[in-house]
Amino acid sequence: MRFSGPAASAAMDGLPGSDAGQVAMLESALWKQLGDATDFRTYCESWLALQCSLIVQANAGLVAAGDNVVGPPIALHPAGHNTSHLVHAVTLAAEQKRGVAELNDSADDAAPGPRAILAFPIIVDGALRAVAAIELLGATEHQTRTAMRQLQWGVAGLRERLLIQTGTQVAPAPARSEIALELLAIVLEQKRFRSACRALVTELATRFACERVGIGFVKSGHCDVVAISHSAQFGHQMNLVRLVGLAMDEAIDQRALILHPPPPDEVNVTRAHGDLAFTCGAVTLLTIPLFVHDRFIGALTFERPLDNPFDPAAVSMLDGIGTIAAPVLDEKRENDRWLIVKARDASRNQIVSLFGPGHAMRKLLAVAALALLVLGYVWTSLYRITADATVEGQIQRAIVAPFNGFVLEADARAGDTVRAGQLLARLDDRDLVLERLKWVTERQRKVLEFEKAMGDRQRSEQKITATQIEQADAQIKLVDEQLSRARLTAPFDGLVISGDLTQSIGGSLQRGQDVFQIAPLDSYRVMLEVDESQIADIAIGQAGQLVVSSLPNDAFPLTVNKITPISKAHDGRNTFRVEARLTETPAALRPGMRGIAKIDIDRRRMVWIVARSFLDWMRLTAWRWFG
């Protein structure tokens, strides 16, 4: 990388033509030497010489690398220069891990003019790897700032070379995120848990040059190997699979990432990893526990050849992938379980949460529910059966059409209060009057014939004529009876509960057709629709109360006096009709009113009253399936 900035331009502009040409040739030579450098020391020497040539007023420079940056420098320009002026700035930059500029106005005889020392550290993964320093003599404040900026730009190339030389392969943050998202997408596109695990370990083995990658999940206190890379099926009794599971257990038990061969400062036990490495041959092992929420759910085990160990960057990358993939795999594992297993685990988790530490609110609710249950068992209350009720008249008289005819007038309709003998309606009787006239005339004719036969002494003719006279009398009586019935009257004081002929004047009626329904005003009965599941508790003589919709503030006492042993379907359920009589008859009550009736049974435990319907349903269900 060739630098072209203010410092380089100023340096070239301040030289004569021949000297500028020599500097350009020197710069080209240094760039070539920098590109041909095979080791880090040669690269640093060429880089330092190039920096000193580009920075205005640069007198000397050094590059210190390794663990001891204040020791002998890895590169010094010019060679043999006294580094005593640079050591303090290098030490300060190493301690503070940032760029340092020291200005000193005092000068000695060997180097007249003000002196400025610039030092800049090179940090990789948070660790100090090297420090570059430049000494300036006689530089102005502007030149010093320009030189510091040039040094900062220059150490970027030195840092890149250091990474390549030391073999550190660190993927940029965007590249890491891209790899993690690609692996997560591979897991998500699989519908089943085991296929997702198999796809993940196979992709990890391919991307990170691993001989084998395995994944396991904790089951009954032991890590069960679920998938191994490039293997569709494997036996759980295989010795290799058993050793992989033990290695995963070792990492999960210690709640730590385990690398084998272990580094010198390793404090965790790696015995199971050693057994696995011995079985597989010369391999490097890495096991990463998978953590979700507050528990370790499994582990990933990676195997590489011994000549390709896991560097810190790869370990960090694989640890991050495991952290991202663990919740997704755990969710798939939970969803892939049998329904009965889900129910068992859910019940166990609820019990653990209830009796384990924490979850104060849940414990408080459980105690409150238990207290309510005990209170419901001890506390007794009146058990009452609720049923829909309808008010009806104690008796209902039907007024029907006495013969086929037509309506002549109608004086009453449903809802009217009538008195005994009051006209309700009248039928057209003109045909009956003519019919009566016909039979009266016929009787007179037969009487004349009878008298004639008597005069002629025809006894047989007398008997026949006498019989015909009796027939005419009977027909006249029948017509008279029909004429009397043409007037429809109320049989007693009461209320017309149905029937309205006011809109049917002149309409025809058929004999026996219901015209009116009348109920008395001082005698009622209540018909209850009791559910079949509660009819066994009903007995004659039980007391209760009725509240009708039109009088919600009044409760009318009643007593059961009849149970009809026939059920009927009503609103999707079977009900029995139970008849009750009112203890007293309020004036505001009318037939046809509907409401709710409650029958008092006896005192029972409150918990039984609340749970009765559920218990009955449970008994029927158990009988249906297991009885």
* 10-42 residue pLDDT tens: 444 444 444 444 445 556 776 777 767 667 788
What one-character-per-residue DSSP string does 52-86 give? HHHSTTEEEEEEEESS-TTSS-SEEESTT---HHH
For position 298, what pLDDT does the model report? 95
Mean pLDDT computed over 498-519: 80
Q: For residues 373 and 103, which has the higher predicted lDDT (pLDDT)?
A: 373
Mean pLDDT computed over 336-342: 86
What one-character-per-residue DSSP string does 576-592 give? EEEEEEESS--TT--TT
For the chain, percent of residues with pLDDT exceeding 70: 89
Q: For residues 159 and 624, which has the higher predicted lDDT (pLDDT)?
A: 624
For position 18, what pLDDT does the model report? 42
CA 620 to chain centre: 32
For position 180, what pLDDT does the model report? 85
Mean pLDDT computed over 444-465: 82
For position 1, what pLDDT does the model report? 37
Question: pLDDT of 413-452, one tens digit each?
Answer: 877 777 887 888 878 777 777 888 888 888 888 888 888 8
For position 20, what pLDDT does the model report? 46
Cβ-Cβ contacts under 8 Å for 278 (sequence gap 6 or more)? none
Burial letters 369-390, b for 16+ CB under 10 A, else e: eeeeeeebeeeeeebbbebbbb
Beta bridge partners of 600: 384
With 90 as the cut, is the pLDDT of residue 377 above it? no
Q: Which two tokens stand for residue 331?
A: 């969710």
148 membership: H or E segment, kind and range: helix 141-166
Mean pLDDT computed over 317-335: 91
CA distances (Å), 498 to each of 398, 399, 422, 577, 590, in order? 9, 10, 16, 22, 13
Q: For residues 346 and 22, which has the higher predicted lDDT (pLDDT)?
A: 346
Q: Structure pTM?
A: 0.45
The amino acid at residue 86 is L
Q: Is 36 exposed, middle or buried (0-12, 13-18, 19+ CB in 10 A)?
A: exposed
Nearest to 119 by CA among 153, 82, 94, 156: 94
Asked whether 477 and 504 are in contact (CB, 8 A), the reply is no
Q: For residues 373 and 436, which has the higher predicted lDDT (pLDDT)?
A: 373
Cα of first residue to Cα of last residue in the chain, in angstroms, is 90
According to the 3-state scheme, what is the secondary structure of 379-448? CEEEEEEEEEEEEEECCCEEEECCCCEEEEEECCECCCEECCCCEEEEECCHHHHHHHHHHHHHHHHHHH
- State the Cα–Cα distance between residues 544 and 123, nearest whole angstrom: 92
Using 50, 70 and 90 to split pLDDT, how confident is the model at 115? Answer: confident
For position 113, what pLDDT does the model report? 65
For position 19, what pLDDT does the model report? 46
What one-character-per-residue DSSP string does 503-519 give? T-TT-EE-TT-EEEEEE
Using 50, 70 and 90 to split pLDDT, how confident is the model at 247? Answer: very high
For position 5, what pLDDT does the model report? 39
For position 12, what pLDDT does the model report? 40
Mean pLDDT computed over 193-208: 92
Phi/psi of residue 342, nearest 5 degrees:
-60, -45
For position 216, what pLDDT does the model report? 95
Instruction: State the sign of the Cα–Cα–Cα–Cα dihedral 373, 377, 382, 383.
Output: positive
Mean pLDDT computed over 126-135: 84
Q: How many CA atoms lie within 13 A of 306 on its CB side?
A: 8
Name all domains of the chain by residue range, CATH numbers in brackets.
Answer: 6-166 (3.30.450.40), 173-336 (3.30.450.40), 397-517 (2.40.50.100), 524-626 (2.40.30.170)
With 70 as the cut, is the pLDDT of residue 537 above it? yes
Using 50, 70 and 90 to split pLDDT, how confident is the model at 543? Answer: very high
Q: For residues 558 and 400, which has the higher predicted lDDT (pLDDT)?
A: 558
Mean pLDDT, the chain, whole residue set: 82
Question: pLDDT of 575-591, one tens digit each?
Answer: 999 999 888 877 778 88
The amino acid at residue 89 is A
Q: For residues 524 and 296, which has the higher predicted lDDT (pLDDT)?
A: 296
With 90 as the cut, is the pLDDT of residue 285 above it? yes
For position 397, what pLDDT does the model report? 76
Minimum mean pLDDT among 174-178, 408-412, 433-437, 600-604: which range? 174-178
Mean pLDDT computed over 248-257: 92
Mean pLDDT computed over 65-84: 79
For position 3, what pLDDT does the model report? 39
Q: Which two tokens stand for residue 371?
A: 């207290």
